[in-house]
Amino acid sequence: MKFKLIMAMVDDGRIEAVLDAARLAGATGATIIPNARGQGLKRHKTFFGLEFLGPRNILLFLVEARRSETVMDAITEAGGLDETAETGIALELDVTRATGLEEHIKVLSEQLPPV
């Protein structure tokens, strides 16, 4: 079975909506890395010229490859990722090998038709 890793960087206020949408679209779970910081297109300066790096959360979804487009579309919509340059991003990576998924694969194999 082939998998894709979807990484979504979203604000605190959008986590639950993104998680719920991803699950409804076929994701079976997620890993959340809280309080990641980074820079976007523009630097945000605060008082005294200091740069503000607002915390984001990284959500990791390991999804069966045939579900990845549907899950990515759901994440994009729920997270409002295409609304502005400031709402976050999501990306998808091919997974060449993953272990510890035997039980997941059994469940997914029952839910999806064979290729």
Query: What percent of the chain clears pLDDT 90, i.e. is strictly above it?
Result: 47
Instruction: Note down the domain range covering 30.
Output: 3-111
Total count of domains within the chain:
1
The DSSP element (H or E) to which 25 belongs, if any, is: helix 15-25
Amino acid 9: pLDDT: 92
The overall average pLDDT reported for the chain is 84
CATH number at residue 82: 3.30.70.120
Could you tell me if 5 and 58 are in contact, meaning their C-beta atoms sit under 8 angstroms apart? no
Strand order in the sheet with 3-10: 31-36, 56-64, 3-10, 89-95
The pair phi, psi for residue 26, each rounded to 5°, is 125, 0
Tell me the pTM: 0.80
